[in-house]
């Protein structure tokens, strides 16, 4: 869809930018991922590492995170365009909390591309195409007076500008095959900073306790039903005379033990996701048919698909012990209290 460029409103920040001292980070799986699994010739690996491209990118994100006026308790997301010699970073968490609609966030990103000379001039029209991929861990980061964070990356889409504008394309940085880009395309990456260690342990414990409470509640409901049925049968026989009575065969009541769902978090544990899955399971709707008798692998937390998407979603994969499905996106309502629909995400690589 072609989008008309409209100048964005000016957003002023009153906080002072501070330097980030004593930052330590441990390399994640990203570089080994693109080196070993995706491209055997290692061209992409050299592209990300030459001139310390990824290292400078991490420094930009850490600096912007340290100076962000809004720090989400779970995840802070930044949009970054990376190229040899130029970088553009936008604090998406701040812009969303500020109330910018998706169309204006797109225009804000286009302005940032112009400011760092990714594009020669501002366009009259352009297009934005989303990309659906899984994120990869870049590094575990420790900052002074701050808890440990983990940084993730994934390409989320690309801008396409008309041929009348000179573009400094970064199409060679996409680490998934199967996508074809032109010299007028500019890839956008999402970097997410997530709190780790103590919060992770605490949330995991809360999730386990919530799962046990749900299981206990279901078991009590089932036991109460069976107890009531037995009492009704006894009362029926007590009301009969002592005369011989033909044996009455009562219908068999199938007692189904309520077993907790096997929810395995491949990311930071989020009890809200656990609650949503149990709610859908207990309602026995479309989600019930999808997840019943399956191991549920939660692969992404509740989030927007950046630009542009109306509802937030989280990602799951399902396993029957031998095979694992593609990713399903479970979309939630505005208050994040109900799963409203789900979609299957299919990816085909060359």
Q: Does 4 or 282 have the greater pLDDT score?
A: 282
> Closest Cα partner for 259 from 305, 298, 222, 301?
222
Whole-number pLDDT of residue 192? 92
pLDDT of residue 253: 37
Burial of 130 (0-12, 13-18, 19+ CB in 10 A): middle
CA distance 337 to 350: 39
CA distances to 135, 174, 237, 241 from 244, rounded to whole Å, are 73, 83, 12, 8
**pLDDT above 70 (res 248):** no
Task: Give bridge partners of residue 151 from the DSSP assignment.
Answer: 139, 193
- Which pLDDT belongs to residue 38? 57
pLDDT at 56: 86
319 neighbors 325 (Cβ within 8 angstroms): yes
**The two structure tokens encoding residue 277:** 């899955």
The predicted-structure confidence for 132-162, as pLDDT tens digits, reads as follows: 888 888 988 887 767 788 899 999 999 999 9
Query: In angstroms, rounded to a whole number, what is the distance separating the alpha carbons of residues 344 and 116?
Result: 37
Residue keyed to tokens 């802070």: 76
Degrees, nearest 5: CA angle 27-30-31: 80
Q: What tens digit of pLDDT does each residue of 260-310 get? A: 789 999 888 888 999 899 988 888 888 888 898 899 999 888 887 766 567
Sign of CA dihedral 110, 112, 115, 119: negative
How many angstroms separate the CA atoms of 188 and 186, rounded?
7
In the predicted model, what is the mean pLDDT of residues 67-85?
A: 83
- Would you place residue 74 in the very low, low, confident or very high pLDDT band (cuts 50, 70, 90)? confident
The predicted structure's pLDDT at residue 47: 81
Q: What is the pLDDT of residue 243?
A: 47
Percent of the chain surpassing pLDDT 70: 71
Specify the pLDDT at position 236: 53
* Average pLDDT estimate for 222-228: 59
- pLDDT confidence of residue 110: 94
Residues 6+ apart with CB under 8 A from 27: 139
Domain boundaries, the chain: 21-196, 199-238+258-345
Q: What is residue 249's predicted lDDT score, i.e. its pLDDT?
A: 40
Chain-wide mean pLDDT for the chain?
77
Query: Above 70 in pLDDT, residue 247?
Result: no
**pLDDT tens profile 93-135:** 888 888 888 888 889 899 999 999 999 999 999 999 888 888 8
Listed range (34-38, 78-82, 94-98, 153-157) with the worst mean pLDDT: 34-38
Q: Residue 198 pLDDT more than 80?
A: no
For the residues 184-205, what does the mean pLDDT come to? 76
225 vs 181 pLDDT, higher one: 181
Q: Provide the edge-to-edge strand list for the sheet that holds 339-345.
A: 263-265, 295-303, 313-319, 327-332, 339-345
The rounded distance, in Å, linking the Cα atoms of 93 and 132 is 19
Only one residue has tokens 């302005």, namely 111
What pLDDT sits at residue 189? 94
Q: For residues 13 and 32, what is the distance between their CA atoms, to the nearest angstrom?
A: 38
Instruction: Identify the DSSP state of 104.
Output: H
Cα distance between residue 315 and residue 262, in whole Å: 15
Backbone angles phi, psi at 112, to 5 degrees: -65, -35
Q: Which of residues 228 and 27 earns the better pLDDT score?
A: 27
């Amino acid at each position: 869809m072609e989008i008309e460029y409209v100048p964005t409103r000016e957003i002023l920040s009153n906080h002072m930018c501070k330097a980030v001292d004593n930052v330590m980070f441990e390399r994640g799986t990203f570089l080994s991922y693109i080196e070993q699994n995706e491209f055997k010739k290692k061209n992409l690996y050299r592209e990300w590492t030459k001139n310390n491209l990824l290292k400078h990118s991490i420094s930009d994100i850490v600096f912007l995170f340290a100076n962000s006026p809004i720090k989400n308790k779970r995840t802070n997301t930044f949009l970054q365009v990376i190229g040899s010699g130029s970088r553009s970073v936008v604090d998406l968490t701040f812009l969303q909390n500020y109330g910018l609609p998706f169309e204006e966030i797109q225009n804000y990103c286009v302005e940032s591309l112009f400011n760092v000379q990714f594009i020669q001039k501002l366009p009259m029209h352009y297009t934005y195409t989303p990309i659906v991929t899984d994120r990869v861990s870049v590094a575990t980061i420790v900052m002074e007076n701050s808890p440990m964070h983990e940084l993730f990356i994934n390409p989320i889409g690309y801008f396409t500008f008309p041929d009348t504008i000179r573009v400094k394309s970064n199409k060679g940085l996409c680490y998934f095959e199967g996508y074809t880009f032109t010299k007028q395309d500019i890839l956008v990456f999402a970097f997410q900073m997530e709190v780790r260690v103590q919060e992770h342990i605490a949330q995991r414990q809360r999730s386990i306790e919530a799962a046990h409470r749900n299981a206990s509640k279901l078991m009590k409901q089932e036991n109460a039903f069976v107890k009531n049925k037995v009492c009704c049968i006894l009362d029926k026989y007590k009301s009969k005379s002592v005369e011989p009575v033909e044996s009455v065969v009562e219908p068999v009541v199938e007692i189904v033990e309520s077993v907790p769902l096997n929810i395995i978090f491949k990311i930071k544990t989020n009890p809200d996701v656990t609650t949503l899955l149990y709610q859908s399971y207990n309602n026995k709707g479309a989600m019930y048919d999808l997840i019943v008798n399956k191991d549920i692998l939660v692969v992404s937390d509740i989030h927007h698909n950046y630009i542009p998407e109306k509802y937030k979603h989280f990602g799951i994969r399902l396993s029957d012990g031998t095979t694992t499905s593609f990713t399903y996106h479970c979309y939630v309502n505005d208050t994040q209290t109900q799963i409203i629909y789900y979609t299957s995400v299919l990816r085909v690589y060359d």
